[in-house]
Chains A and B, each alone.
Chain A
Amino acid sequence: MSVSASSRPTVSWQRRLYERMGVGFAAVNLVLLLAFFGLLAPHFLTPLALSNILTFASLTGLVVVGVALLMIAGEFDLSVGSNLAVGGFGFAVLLNAGVPALPAFLLALLFCALLGLINGAVVVFTGIPSFIATLGTMLAYRGIARILGGGDFAKYTGPQPVLFNVLNGPLTPLNDLFNTPANFRSVILWFLVLAVVGTVMLHRTRFGNWIFATGGHVEAARAQGVPVRTVKLICFTLTGLLAGLAGVTQFAAGASIDPLRGEGLELIAVVSCVIGGVLLTGGAGSVMGAVVGILLLQTLEQGLILMGISVQVFRAIVGFILVLSVILTTAIGRRE
C-alpha cells in the first residue's frame, strides 16, 4: 500500500454509484421494459400477461430472497434449482404415500432446509468456495430429485388439499375484477410478505447487521465477535428452505412436477440479485433490489414469449447480463 493511496477512501465512486443505482436503476429499467413490450408485444398490456409476470416472478422470487441474503453474506448457492425439485418431488412422494398435506409440506421443507445446511457446512468447515461446493451439490441434489421421482414426472391425483389453494390458489376476487382473464395467485401475497420480512430482518436486526459484516469483511466481523460461521450456516439453510417452499408451491399450482424443474434457476436468481444491486462479492445489496431484479427478468421473459421469440433467447440474454455484471464488478474491484 502506497502512502498517498491509503489516506484516500477505498470505496470508489464507481462502486458507490453502482450501489446507489442498484434498486433505482433496476426499477427504471423495469419501467422502460414494460413500456417497450407494451408497445411492441401483442397482448402484453393485458391483465393476463401482467398477472402472469407477477405470479411467475413470485414463484421464483421466493428463492431469490434467500439467494440475495446469502450473496450479501458473501456466498453463492448454485444448488437452489435442484433443491427446488427435491422439494416438489419430496412433497409429491409424501402426498402419494398418504401423508396429509400439512405434515408432507413441513417434511419437504425440513428436508430442503437440511440440504441447504449441508451446503453451508461444506463451505464453512472445509473452506471450499461456495461456487464450487454448490456446483457439486447442484448435481447431487438433482440426483436426489430424480430418485424421488423415479426419473419421471410426479403427479398427485387425489382430492385437492386446502393447502394447495393457500400456497398458490387463484385470487378469484381480484381476478374477477377484470373482464378479461387474469392469473393473480396467492403466491404473490406470500412473496410480498417474505420480501418485507427479509428487508426488515436485513436492515433492522442484529442478524442483518451481521450478514452485511460477514459479507463485507469477514475478518473484521470475526474480530468484533460476530459468529460468521453461524451467520453463513443460517443463510444457507434459509436459502434451502425457501427453495423447497418454491418447489412445493409450484407443485401446488398444477399438482405435477417434471424432473427438469428448477434447472437454470440458479442463474436467474443470481442475475436478479446482481441487477438489483447486490454485490457479487458480498457485503452490499438489498432484498427489494433483488425483488425488482426478478420482476425485470420475468417481464423480459413474458415479453419475449408474447413477441414469439424463443425462450432460449431469454436464457442467452440473462447469461450475458451476468457476464457483463461480473466484468463491471471486477473492473470496480481492480480500481480499488
Chain B
Amino acid sequence: MENISRRFGSIVAVEDVTLAIYAGEVTALLGDNGAGKSTLIKILTGVYPPTTGRIYFKGKPVQITSPRMARDLGIETVYQDLALVPLMSVARNFFLGREPVKSIGPFRFLDLKTMQERTAAALRDIGIEKFSGGRSVNEPVGKLSGGERQSVAIGRAVHFGASVLILDEPTSALSVAETEKVLHYTRQAKERGLAVIFISHNMSHVMRVADRYIVMRHGRQVADYRKGELTEQDLADLVTGERER
C-alpha cells in the first residue's frame, strides 16, 4: 500500500501510510482505538476506497472496490464475531458461498457428503483435531467456543487458497488456552506461505506471534520494526505515544 490516505469529511482517518506486507510473515498492526487500523484494513478489503494512494497486489496495481473483489484476489478477513453463522453447521459454514453441488437432471443439489469430508479433512490438516471424528462438522457453530470458531475461520481461509489473511482482534475475549490455539493456527497459516496481518491490542500475544510490528497513531504509521528489535514495553510505549518512533 502506497501513500494511502482516507478522509471522512474533514476528519483524516488514515494519512499517507505506505507499507508492504510479505508472504510467510505475520505482520502485527497495532494502535489504540481510533488510530486508523480498522480504516486501513477496510481500504485493503474493499469496504472503503482510499481518498488518495495506490494498492499493489503481487506487484501489480489493483483497485479493490468491494469485499467480494478482495476475496477473489485472495484477501480473506476473519472478523471477531462476523465470520460464521452460529445456527449453521461447521461444514455448511465452511463452504458458505462456494458450496459443492451434484447435478441430478436439471437440478443441482448440495453435495453434503463432500462438504462434510472436505471440512473434516481441511480442519484436521491445519491441526484442528476436534473435527477428525466426522460427526462434529455437523454441529452448529454456536456450540463451538470462541477459539474454535476463530480456528475454523482461519482454516477456511487457508483451505480456499487465501494469500493474505487479516485477523481482526483474533484473541480478544478468549481464554488463555483458547488464545494458544489461535496463535498456533496463525503460525501455521504463516508457515503455509500466507501473508498474515494480525491486528491486536494485546502486546504479549503480538510479541509471541508476529515477525514485524507496525504501529499506527492518529492515522499515521509511526513505527515499523522487526522481531527482536523491540521489547514489549517499547511496543506499548509506541502505541500510547510515550515513545515517538
Q: Are A213 and B96 neighbours in the complex by a CB distance under 8 Å? A: yes
Chain B residues within CB distance 8 Å of chain A: 67-68, 71, 77, 79, 82-88, 92-93, 95-99, 101, 107-110, 112, 140, 142-147, 173-175, 178
Which chain A residue has the least Cβ–Cβ distance from B111? A204
CB-CB under 8 A for A224 and B97, given A205-B108, A219-B82? yes
Query: In the bound complex, what is the Cα–Cα distance between A223 and B95 (angstroms)?
Result: 12
CB distance from B10 to the nearest CB of A (A): 27
**Cβ contacts A to B, 19 pairs, < 8 Å:** A6-B173, A7-B174, A9-B142, A9-B144, A9-B145, A11-B86, A11-B140, A204-B109, A205-B108, A206-B99, A206-B108, A208-B110, A209-B110, A210-B97, A212-B85, A213-B96, A217-B86, A225-B68, A284-B87
Seen from chain A, the residues whose Cβ lies within 8 Å of a Cβ on chain B are 1-4, 6-11, 16, 200, 204-206, 208-210, 212-213, 216-217, 219-226, 279, 283-284
* A213, A216, A219, A225: the one within 8 Å of B71 (CB): A225
B68: nearest chain-A partner, CB-CB? A225
State the total of A-B contacts with C-beta under 8 angstroms: 97
Kindly state the separation between the CA atoms of A217 and B92 in the bound complex, as whole angstroms: 13
Q: Which of A4, A204, A219, A284 contacts B110 (CB 8 A)?
A: A204
Q: Which residues of B contact A206 (CB under 8 A)?
A: 99, 101, 108, 110
What's the minimum C-beta distance from A247 to chain B, rounded to whole angstroms? 28
CB distance from A277 to the nearest CB of B (A): 12
CB-based contact B145/A216 at 8 Å? no
CA distance A3 to B143 in the complex (A): 17
Q: Do residues A217 and B84 form an inter-chain contact, with CB atoms below 8 A?
A: yes
- Do A223 and B82 form a contact, CB below 8 Å, given A3-B175, A7-B175, A206-B108? yes
CB distance from B214 to the nearest CB of A (A): 24
CB proximity of A248 to chain B, nearest CB, Å: 26
In the complex with contacts A6-B146, A7-B174, A213-B86 CB distance below 8 A: no
A7 CA to B86 CA, complexed, in Å: 14
Whether B109 pairs with A209 at a CB distance below 8 angstroms is: no
Q: Which residues of B contact A284 (CB under 8 A)?
A: 87
Which residues of chain B have C-beta atoms less than 8 A from A7's C-beta?
A: 145-147, 174-175, 178
